[in-house]
Structure 1
Amino acid sequence: MKKIALLALTVLLAVSCASKKDLEAAEARARLNQELLDSATVKLNACLADEKVSAAELSALRSQVADLRANNQSLIDNTGNLTTLSKKGAENLEKSLESLREKDLQIRTLNEAITRKDSVTLALVQSFKGVLGNIDDEDISINVEKGVVFVSISDKLLFASGSANVNNAAKNVLGKVAKVVNDKPDIEIMIEGHTDNQSISTAKFEDNWSLSAARAASVTRILQNDFNVAPERMTAAGRSYYVPVADNDTASGRAKNRRTRIIVLPKLDQFFDIVEQGMEKARAGE
């Protein structure tokens, strides 16, 4: 009887170990799939941008073809001789060709700028994942939407219910976010506070607008005072419950909506500087 019990215990331990290994393997595959998804998202954004640029190029070419046809018809009407090209017609044709070359240069330069921007976006995603990779997915998520990087942190990790005071334990997470921001001096961030749709009215917070704005300001203040993020690079904003990511009719949905979102803001002036520099180099034949 003891032998049978011992054998059963051995089998149970073996199954438990195997299950733990399977779980670890599944978690590893999930992390790999998420990384592949983020990379694919960036590439998809690049493809969508390429599609818009190609459509603009096609529209420009069609416009130029229409101009050329109008010029040719004008020559036919004025001279009545297809074998003779007037000096004015030749000048118009040369101007049209020059305009085509200019538009082609602009399109190629814009494509190069978009590619560089997408590379920067992917590098930012990898940087945030590198410092926040050990955080539970239910508490924090990193994703890319339309070329913009978002870091979303659940309020259960940052705040007590109805409070705008950041928990001491959460400062470790904010410190990791600050490290990426401080290592990338060319980026700016917006800190957004989000709540669920449950009404609140206290001596300190009149409504969800007040609570969400106060929470965003608290996180911004921690990043500035505790981790030396330059205040001119940050914007604090309260969004109340008007930008939900889940259904507010369920407890789990409301929990997802209560979050603080850190948005890496694209610097449009830098993007256009890249375009202008590319245009100048192209004109110089570099």
Structure 2
Amino acid sequence: MIQRKILVMGLFVSGLLLASCGGKKKFAALQTQHQELASKYQESQMELTEARATITSLEQQLEQERKNNESLKEALTRLQGTLDASINSSAQGNVNISKLVDEINASNKYIQHLVNTKAKSDSLNMVLTNNLTRSLSREELQDVDVQVLKGVVYISLSDNMLYKSGSYEISDRAGETLSKIAKIIQDYRDYDVLIEGNTDTDPITQKNIRNNWDLSTLRASSVVQALQMQYGIDPQRLTAGGRGEFNPIAENSTPEGKARNRRTQIIITPKLDQFMDLIDKAPESSEEADSGMTEGTTQPLETNTSF
């Protein structure tokens, strides 16, 4: 009995020992499995975090792309507006270019008109100068300066040729020259004639002449009276005026300058309608004008003309 109990006890203990050894193995296996699961969980958590970060980045990129898309739409709208404006401007530009071409053509026509008018005026000046100088000798032309400025004729006579020394009386030498100028004035009988006296700055010493105003006016008056009484010029066409020393054409600091300033001008002025008639009668070419200048004279003329 006792041996049987001892045997049962041994078997029981052996069973307990065997059971205990099996539990440890299961526990160890469970621990290993738990560690594996924990590791996998950690890896999953890391992957989840990375996935979330990726999703956040993608969402940000998507938002940026949406903004870029909006910017592109706005740029496209502006570009379309610019294109429409450019098309409209191009159409308007074509109109402006056409208008500019018309203006240029009109300007060219006007310039050509001015050129033609200038050429005709130059021819007129040549004709008038010829009419006034063709009868004067070379010696007379040395004391007579003829200019035609804008249709107005200026004949400047030196005092040495025209007056007696220090006087306002007409010299004998001037008579022949004045007669030729009177002939021209008679040819243009409807023109007004201004006789204008000019002096230098030297003071007057004669008792009956107060100053250069008096001298210049008296000299102009002497020419006017000679043209009226000796050469039959209508006095209603004549005007006498004196400018004293105040209309110089040269410096009074030299004898040569003073000699140029001591002069009497005969200014022949056509009225406007008469001037237009002269333009209509002016030769169309310089050859015709040259032909008119040589007619009636056998020697070249040394004249000073300008326009």
Quickly name the TM-score band, shorter chain normalised: 0.5 to 0.7
2:83 and 2:139 mapped to 1: Cα distance?
74
Which of residues 124, 141, 145 in structure 2 aligns to 1:142? Answer: 145
| Partner residue in 2 for 1:160 | 164
8 A contact 1:142–1:149 mirrored in 2 = no
Select the structure with the greater relative contact order (CA < 8 A; seq sep ≥ 6).
2
8 A contact 2:124–2:278 mirrored in 1 = no
**CA RMSD in angstroms, aligned pairs only:** 3.9
Q: Amino acid of the residue matched to residue 187 of structure 2? A: D
Alignment of 1:78-227 (within 5 A): 79-81=85-87, 85=91, 90=95, 95-136=99-140, 138=142, 140-144=143-147, 149-185=153-189, 188-200=192-204, 202-227=206-231
8 A contact 2:196–2:240 mirrored in 1 = yes
8 A contact 1:166–1:219 mirrored in 2 = yes
Q: Which digits, 9 at most, give the CA deviation of each residue in 1:236-279, with x for residues without a partner?
A: 33222234455545555534432212244476676679999xxx
The CA deviation at 1:187 is 5.2
Aligned length: 198
Check 1:141–1:275 CA distance in 2 against 1; reply closer, same or farther (3 A cut): closer
Q: Which digits, 9 at most, give the CA deviation of each residue in 1:5-37, with x for residues without a partner?
A: xxxxxxxxxxxxxxxxxxxxxxxxxxxxxxxxx
Check 1:126–1:191 CA distance in 2 against 1; reply closer, same or farther (3 A cut): same
Gaps in structure 2 of 5+ consecutive residues: 1-81, 281-307
The CA deviation at 1:184 is 3.6
Alignment of 1:253-268 (within 5 A): 253-265=257-269
2:145 and 2:97 mapped to 1: Cα distance?
52
1:274 and 1:128 mapped to 2: Cα distance?
15
2:107 and 2:277 mapped to 1: Cα distance?
18
2:83 and 2:231 mapped to 1: Cα distance?
74
Which of residues 238, 242, 265 in structure 2 aligns to 1:238? Answer: 242
Alignment of 1:48-59 (within 5 A): none
Counting aligned pairs with the same residue, the percent is 33
| Partner residue in 2 for 1:50 | none
Q: Which digits, 9 at most, give the CA deviation of each residue in 1:133-168, with x for residues without a partner?
A: 253455x13344766654322223322244323235
The CA deviation at 1:176 is 0.4
Q: Which has the larger radius of gyration?
A: 2
Gaps in structure 1 of 5+ consecutive residues: 1-75, 277-286
Q: Amino acid of the residue matched to residue 215 of structure 2? A: L
8 A contact 2:196–2:220 mirrored in 1 = yes
User: Given the two structures, how large is their TM-score scaled by the length of structure 2?
Assistant: 0.50
8 A contact 2:224–2:238 mirrored in 1 = yes
The CA deviation at 1:211 is 0.9
Q: Amino acid of the residue matched to residue 142 of structure 1? A: D
